[in-house]
Chains A and B, each alone.
Chain A
Amino acid sequence: MAIFDIRKLSFSYPNAENKAIDNVSIAVESGEFVTVVGPTGSGKSTLLRLMKPELQQNGEIQGEILFHDQPITALKARESAARIGYVAQSPEEQIVTDKVWHEMAFTLENLGKKQKEIARRVAETAAYFGIAPWYHDRTATLSGGQKQLLNLASVMVSEPEALILDEPTAQLDPIEAAKFVDTLRKLNRETGVTVIISEHRAEELLPISDRMIVLDRGQIVFDDTPRAVAGQIEKDSPYLPYLTAAARIFIQGGGQGERPLSVREGMRAFRELSYSSPPAFAEKKGSDHEVALEIKDVFFRYEKSAQDILRGLDLTVYSGEIFAVLGANGCGKSTAAGVIAGVYKPYSGKRKLFSKAYKEYKNGSLYKENLSLLVQDVESVFLRASVREELRGCEDIIRELPFDLSPLLDRHPYDLSGGERQMVALCKALKSRPRLLILDEPSKGLDPRYKKQLGDLIMELKGRGMTIILITHDVEFAAGCADRCALFFDGAIAACENTADFMNGNRYYTTAASRITRGIIEGCYTVDSAAKAMGGEHG
């Protein structure tokens, strides 16, 4: 029986030329796990919001959405709150109260439940989600992954039949995201809750989804099992990036037959094929280049009584290279970025930029044409009411960019999408014409299109001679553009090699392509290189 039956649904925002949703019909069966993908602005969020009456936005609706054969808008407020759960992207902003236990009780309080019933449901849910150890903690002290798990748990306390999630793992690091997706899978299998999720993270989700819906410009492009959708997408399709690495390698490499989805399937499929020798990687030079940044034996802590965050950090970055620092969220990468950027002063150790000690850069000259850091929360750079004012003095830089920012100029920074915001902030960081640019998690929350745009921009900046340090947990992104990679762990660099050696030397902290080709072809770590090696068979 269909839990959601969407019939010929169209929706347009007030004063908008195009329909945000254009004649969409979907029937979701009870207990299904449905993944919705599509570029930013494809109407994913709008569609998901229409399925949660409280979040429907102003605009013109045609067609209908039935929930258990009744119009969804006919649901009583309490029914809708209890039976349809909704989790959004931002882990931090969705939390309402100051304590974990209070947050968990919040939904049931709103529904006016009795003390006894709340106590029981909260206890049960906290135990199931493994929240008990931090049940009494303040919500502000949790990590991003914990926050998002709390958001999920505090929706699940009302025992909803359907769970709608709008890019819930976009802000999480890969390990947190995998854990979150795993929890979703477990919930779906064990409680039968219907899951409808929109995500850019195909790798973990597609192998466990019953259905994959590709949405573009408000219309359904594909609606089938992930395997069937993978079977319909061809080499030059714009929807290729929404598939997993295994499927992409197989499609790009021209593989025949059923397409693999997971890493495991990818390895199996790969073993059965013959392949050409791996593409030669140019050994990334470095040592004969001029040293741009030298960090030696740096120790740092925020307060005298606190613990060390950096414990003997050593780092050498050469002029004109892209250097990636990889590591999980909360391991001190951002602190390292602050120290490299000269914002935090280490209590011990040496720092040199362009063979001049940091101390010698007087009167803020460090930030004039030398160094610039873009932090990961780009909201922290927006001060003005329009992009134009925000980017005053950056006109030349806007012109030099490989993409056009001018349509955004008259908009408010907070009215932009995440990707657009990132590009505007980046432009602001370039204003001082830095020789060393440090980017902290620049690819966080971006869809494949913006990720590619960002990657292209970074390559272009490198081409102009800029040195770039990428601080990121996004292994795939680093693999795509970095010359050298370093693994940051426990306050110091645990490994530092050129990207190929780094990716092929790591077992867990590496790309899906590297894992798929491991032991079959050596030296492949991107989808493109793996596909090329595979394509050898077909010429």
Chain B
Amino acid sequence: MTVIGNEKVRKALRYAIPFGLIPATVALSATAFGEKRYLILSLGIAVMAIMLFMAGIEKKNIGSRRMVMVAVMTALAVIGRFIPLFKPITALCVMAAMYLGAEAGFLCGALSVLISNIYFGQGPWTPFQMLGFGLIGLFAGYLSKPLLKSRVLLVGYGVIAGIAYSMMMDVWTVLWYNGSLDGSLYLTAIVSALPYTVLYAVSNVGFLLLLRKPMGEKLGRIKLKYGV
């Protein structure tokens, strides 16, 4: 009964999610839940998007050494979430993505949120946070070549990741409070979350600059030594 472990079910899911489950969620949310339909819709889509990514990763053959390194980076990101104010989670996901690939970045982001929320509290925000940090890692993986080369680009990525994450979570906040994405409320949310956004962006840039060299060297050495 392993859902994604089973090849056939997995294939079926890849089609069922975009063509079946998502429209069904839309329909359900529109009829039964009236004014809060966007909330349930966005939540449903976030969950399914995560499942889609995970289905893709389940299919890939990840060697044991890469697995260990991904687990280590994830654990580091979990521990990093316990640091007050400045969180290195984005920086760690980006490092994982640049050296270990886009999937590793996604896993590091999504799974570290999932594990740390065992302590911080799971909730409907979990899928959004998972998707948020997962995507930050994923895109960093796709952009790994330029990001590895240029420090300016890396800093830029850190800033954009911080802002984008914050704005995405603001969408969620507004949906939770209001039910639909009201323009002026969204603006208020963005403005009131500005200190956090700045904090995100600053800690992203700070930790990226701080970790880039020493951690890059360590990861590079390990990759070479163990032939990952």
Chain A residues packing against B (C-beta within 8 Å): 385, 412
Per DSSP, are chain B's interface residues mostly helix, strand or loop, or mixed?
helix
Residues of A near B221 (CB, < 8 A) are 385, 412
Q: Does B217 sit at the interface, judged by CB under 8 A? A: yes
- Chain B 155-171 interface residues, beta-carbon cutoff 8 Å to A: none
Q: Which 3 A-B pairs have the closest CB atoms?
A: A385-B217, A412-B221, A385-B221
CB distance from B228 to the nearest CB of A (A): 14
The complex places the Cα of A412 from the Cα of B222 at a distance, in Å, of 12
CB nearest to A383 among chain B residues: B214
CB nearest to B64 among chain A residues: A96
- Chain B 186-228 interface residues, beta-carbon cutoff 8 Å to A: 217, 221
Residues of B near A385 (CB, < 8 A) are 217, 221
CB distance from B109 to the nearest CB of A (A): 20
- Chain B 126-185 interface residues, beta-carbon cutoff 8 Å to A: none
| Category for how many chain B residues contact A | under 10
CB distance from A483 to the nearest CB of B (A): 43
The complex places the Cα of A412 from the Cα of B217 at a distance, in Å, of 12
CB distance from B172 to the nearest CB of A (A): 30
CB nearest to A415 among chain B residues: B225
The complex places the Cα of A412 from the Cα of B220 at a distance, in Å, of 14
CB distance from A284 to the nearest CB of B (A): 47
Q: List 3 A-B contacts (CB under 8 A).
A: A385-B217, A385-B221, A412-B221
CB nearest to B68 among chain A residues: A96
CB nearest to A412 among chain B residues: B221
Residues of A near B217 (CB, < 8 A) are 385
CB nearest to B217 among chain A residues: A385
The complex places the Cα of A167 from the Cα of B217 at a distance, in Å, of 31
Residues of B near A412 (CB, < 8 A) are 221
CB nearest to B222 among chain A residues: A414
The complex places the Cα of A385 from the Cα of B221 at a distance, in Å, of 10
B 42-78 to A, binary, CB cutoff 8 A, 1 in contact else 0? 0000000000000000000000000000000000000
The complex places the Cα of A385 from the Cα of B217 at a distance, in Å, of 9
The complex places the Cα of A46 from the Cα of B148 at a distance, in Å, of 37
CB distance from A360 to the nearest CB of B (A): 34
CB nearest to A58 among chain B residues: B227
The complex places the Cα of A462 from the Cα of B81 at a distance, in Å, of 47
The complex places the Cα of A158 from the Cα of B127 at a distance, in Å, of 38
CB distance from B71 to the nearest CB of A (A): 9
The complex places the Cα of A121 from the Cα of B139 at a distance, in Å, of 44
CB distance from B115 to the nearest CB of A (A): 10
CB distance from A101 to the nearest CB of B (A): 18
CB distance from B4 to the nearest CB of A (A): 16
The complex places the Cα of A439 from the Cα of B217 at a distance, in Å, of 31
CB distance from B85 to the nearest CB of A (A): 25
CB distance from A129 to the nearest CB of B (A): 25
CB distance from A480 to the nearest CB of B (A): 36
CB distance from B92 to the nearest CB of A (A): 19
The complex places the Cα of A412 from the Cα of B218 at a distance, in Å, of 11
CB nearest to A96 among chain B residues: B68
CB nearest to A54 among chain B residues: B64
CB distance from B225 to the nearest CB of A (A): 8
The complex places the Cα of A206 from the Cα of B217 at a distance, in Å, of 45
CB distance from A13 to the nearest CB of B (A): 13
CB distance from A537 to the nearest CB of B (A): 56
CB distance from B147 to the nearest CB of A (A): 23
CB distance from B70 to the nearest CB of A (A): 13
The complex places the Cα of A280 from the Cα of B221 at a distance, in Å, of 56
CB distance from A202 to the nearest CB of B (A): 33
The complex places the Cα of A209 from the Cα of B221 at a distance, in Å, of 41
CB nearest to B227 among chain A residues: A58
CB distance from B15 to the nearest CB of A (A): 26
CB nearest to A385 among chain B residues: B217
The complex places the Cα of A185 from the Cα of B13 at a distance, in Å, of 51
The complex places the Cα of A385 from the Cα of B214 at a distance, in Å, of 10
The complex places the Cα of A186 from the Cα of B217 at a distance, in Å, of 47
CB distance from A410 to the nearest CB of B (A): 14
CB nearest to A93 among chain B residues: B68
The complex places the Cα of A412 from the Cα of B221 at a distance, in Å, of 10
The complex places the Cα of A385 from the Cα of B225 at a distance, in Å, of 13
The complex places the Cα of A385 from the Cα of B219 at a distance, in Å, of 12
CB distance from B63 to the nearest CB of A (A): 12
The complex places the Cα of A412 from the Cα of B225 at a distance, in Å, of 11
The complex places the Cα of A486 from the Cα of B221 at a distance, in Å, of 44
CB distance from B123 to the nearest CB of A (A): 23
The complex places the Cα of A385 from the Cα of B224 at a distance, in Å, of 14
The complex places the Cα of A385 from the Cα of B220 at a distance, in Å, of 12
CB distance from B14 to the nearest CB of A (A): 23
CB distance from A91 to the nearest CB of B (A): 17
CB distance from A131 to the nearest CB of B (A): 24
CB distance from B121 to the nearest CB of A (A): 20
CB distance from B210 to the nearest CB of A (A): 15
- Chain B 103-125 interface residues, beta-carbon cutoff 8 Å to A: none
The complex places the Cα of A171 from the Cα of B150 at a distance, in Å, of 45
